[in-house]
Chain A
Amino acid sequence: MKLSFNKNKKQMDMSKMQKHTKSRWWRLTDSRVRWRHSLLVKYLSLVVCAMMLFFFLMPLATIILAIPMYWNDQMKEKENPYANGHTLMTAWHAETKLLKGSNEQAIEKLLASWKVKLPKASVFWIDEKGMTRSMLPEQKSLPKQWTAQDSIAFMKNSHDGDPFTVVSFIGGEAAKEGFVVIQIPRKLMTYDGLQPLYTSEYAFAIMMSLTLLFILFSWRFFYRIQRRLRELERAMAMTDEQGIPVTISVAKEDEIGQLQHSFNRMTSELRASRKREQEEEELRKQLIANLSHDIRTPLTTIRTHVHTIQQENDVLQERSKTSLRVIVQKCEDLAHLVDNLLSYTLLSAKRYTFHPQAVDVVRLVRESAAAWYPMWEKHQFEVEVNLPSAPITWDVDQMWMKRILDNVYQNVVRHASSGRYIRIEMNQLPNGSSELVIQDKGPGMKVTSSNKGAGIGLSIIEMMLKEMQLEQEVFSSSNGTTLVLTPKRGNLKNPNI
């Protein structure tokens, strides 16, 4: 019931999500994002701002710039007597026309008066015979005696050239009394020779800077998005000790903010499911532990009561004694089987406490042998222990290693006691590695053992060895079994030790 409810809920979530993902471009934004938080709206407003600047601010700026420039122009023209070529030309023509029939003194006087009025202009006149007269100042490039060809060349050069040249006949065109010339360098005619502030250049600069500003703001806009995306990506890669990404703090409620919210929802769901999984695992562990306990408890009762009967040694028949021994043996086998089942379940689910560390295996093997020695003594074993005095360090879990040794010794006592021999040896190998050798002189492992529970026990040992990166080699013959344990290359962090 609960399961189907969850399923329905999930489907509901799914449909909700699909609704979200359905594109509604006319809405501009996702319904979860408020429009004023939307990135799209932000970018559009940026573009609109830029356009406003172009259409309104630019003409405005042009006008603002043009007003002082216009005034400037007016001021400049008033001050500069050279500025207006047309006015000068008209005045020149009018005054020289009045010279009709006048003598040389009058002409020279007029020229001198113009020279005073416009000191930077050059003036001269040519008489009716073609002689250059009263040049102010002296000009080397001009001929003394003008031919017709000279006149035409001069006129051609002066037309629209620099300096600005005005030629007028004395007393009008028909008088044939010669002509007067005034020349003004053109740079004097334009604003006192200063570089003018052109409106078009200003406008260009403003346009450029506005464009740059727009590019800058756009860049900043996208750079921020990019940075946030990068941060998000980095945050997604970061994991806590459970291997689940950590929760991200959401600063802005825009589209990326929604993405972050979704991501946070996802991680919290992941965390919840991991927790559920762990709880289930814990439950299973508990269940098996309880099962093991519940089987072991009646076994204890059987075991202890058998002991009571065994105490009545005198009255028991030999057959009964054998039966009792078998019962005790089976009780122990069953207890071990249950134990192994528990261990196997936990190990295969990787739910076993595992603390690998650098362990002096020589010491561990010696202490384990010390614990088992009375047992071997009881079975009249010949015990040969050859352990080096220097420590040998392996990267193993101490409890696991003990368990492996216990298992090996137990198998030796159970299945190889006929050999009455055990040899435990540790060697430092010349290649820097080391080995643990346990040898017995039993009937070998090919003989099928009466203990069917050994299979699972061996699987557990294999799993533990694999986890601790130890290699196991077994040489078995009818003369005995030799077990060699060596650490794999990965086990030893420092192979020199």
Chain B
Amino acid sequence: MKPTILYVEDDLEIGEWTNQFLKDKGYEVDWRKSGENALHEAGSYSLVILDVMLPGLDGFTVGQRLKKNAPHIPVLMLSARSSIDDKLQGLNFADDYLTKPFHPDELAARIEILLRRYEKEEEECITLHHIHMYPKQNRIVDSRTNEDLTLTGKQFHIFRYMIQNANQILTKEQIYEGVWGDPYIEGDKTLQVHIRYLREKIELDPSKPLVIETIRGIGYRVRR
């Protein structure tokens, strides 16, 4: 099933182009020129892209109401308003804020990330190198031997968090806070220990990890 995107943009030239671009990328797009009539149907979409400067209700208001009605729908603000104040206001409720002019590939990448973050359960199987992961069943299988890999709860949790945020470099603070839900305490080695054990189980050669990359001095990354 194609993900459906609600795209609200009043500028015809940009709207037309982006509409086509997103369709070419394989999404189903519903392009609206104002926010009002889009408000109530938002629940049925996979993602909403909002401009800020709209006739009638502005994008911030539309987005806030949308998030209130349907908090599980990711909202991406796509605006030519570029000041920090605008970004802060937007990021109060929206999941991402991209300024115009944008690089089309960047837009596509950000949509990908948001969809993955919100629709993690939709995917049946994720393949990373020799690993098959079945998120719904909490199963990880070594594709070469077809054997299940047994991970502890925390290890699985960490791995899933990294897959959800695939292609992003995650600092140890981000992973810790994302998985444990507590603020990271400086000097805590728990995460490193967990990742070491995790690697021993999922990497072919734990000393040269491929699935979970180490970005020296910064953090970790899982690439898809």
Contacts and interface: CB of A to CB of B under 8 A. Distances in A.
Interface of A: 289, 292-294, 296-297, 299-305, 307-308, 331-332, 335, 338-339, 342-343, 346, 352-353, 363, 366-367, 369-371, 373-374, 383-387, 389-391, 399, 403, 424
A386 B217 contact: yes
Contact of A304 (B21, B170, B171): B21
A390 B215 CA distance: 19
B218 A385 contact: yes
Given A300-B100, A300-B101, A373-B215, A390 B84 contact: no
B85 A342 contact: no
Nearest to B107: A304
A466 B7 CA distance: 41
Contacts of A385: 216-218
Given A300-B14, A353-B88, A292 B82 contact: yes
Of A343, A366, A374, A403, most buried by chain B (CB within 10 Å of CB) is: A366
B192 to A, nearest CB: 11
Across the A-B interface, give the 6 residue pairs with the lowest CB-CB distance, nearest first. Answer: A385-B217, A296-B80, A303-B101, A370-B169, A300-B100, A300-B101
A387 B174 contact: no
17 contacts: A292-B80, A293-B53, A293-B80, A296-B100, A297-B14, A300-B102, A303-B101, A303-B102, A332-B101, A335-B82, A335-B99, A366-B171, A366-B217, A370-B174, A371-B169, A391-B186, A424-B217
Interface string B86-111: 10100000000001111110000000
Contact of B14 (A304, A363, A386, A424): A304
A63 to B, nearest CB: 87
Contacts of A331: 101
A370 B170 contact: yes
Given A299-B100, A299-B101, A373-B215, A289 B187 contact: no
A263 B215 CA distance: 65
Given A385-B216, A389-B187, A370 B168 contact: yes
Q: Which applies to chain A's interface (DSSP): helix, strand, loop or mixed?
A: helix
Contacts of A391: 186
B83 interface: yes
A300 B219 contact: no
Nearest to A296: B80
Interface string B42-86: 000000000001000000000000000000000000011111111
B13 interface: yes
B194 to A, nearest CB: 17
A300 B98 CA distance: 12
A296 B11 CA distance: 12
Nearest to B184: A363
A434 to B, nearest CB: 15
A304 to B, nearest CB: 5
A335 B83 contact: no
A370 B67 CA distance: 28
Contact of B218 (A296, A342, A366): A366
Given A293-B79, A293-B81, A300-B11, 11 more contacts: A292-B82, A301-B11, A305-B17, A335-B82, A343-B84, A363-B171, A367-B171, A370-B218, A373-B218, A374-B169, A385-B218
Nearest to B10: A297
Contacts of B171: 363, 366-367, 370
A108 B219 CA distance: 143
Interface in B150-183: 167-171, 173-174
Contact of A307 (B104, B168, B187, B215): B104
B91 to A, nearest CB: 10
A294 B52 CA distance: 12
A369 B88 contact: no
A289 B81 CA distance: 7
Interface in B182-204: 186-187
Contacts of B81: 289, 292-293
A339 B84 contact: no
Contact of B217 (A297, A308, A387): A387
Contacts of B103: 303, 307
Contacts of A374: 167, 169
A64 to B, nearest CB: 85
B18 interface: yes
B30 to A, nearest CB: 19
Contact of A389 (B79, B80, B84, B186): B186
Contacts of B170: 370
Contacts of B53: 293
Nearest to A332: B101
Contacts of A338: 82
A384 B170 CA distance: 17
Nearest to B169: A370
B213 to A, nearest CB: 11
B113 to A, nearest CB: 12
B82 A370 contact: no
Contact of A302 (B82, B101, B217): B101
Nearest to A371: B169
B174 A367 contact: yes
Contact of A296 (B13, B84, B99, B174): B99
Contacts of A367: 171, 173-174
Contacts of A386: 217
A293 B82 CA distance: 8
Contacts of B104: 304, 307
Contacts of B84: 343, 352-353, 399, 403
A383 B213 CA distance: 15
A292 B11 CA distance: 15
Of B84, B167, B215, most buried by chain A (CB within 10 Å of CB) is: B84
Nearest to A294: B80
A134 B169 CA distance: 142
A114 to B, nearest CB: 120
Given A297-B14, A301-B13, A343 B83 contact: yes
A366 B186 CA distance: 14
A289 B86 contact: yes
A60 B18 CA distance: 107
A317 B81 CA distance: 35
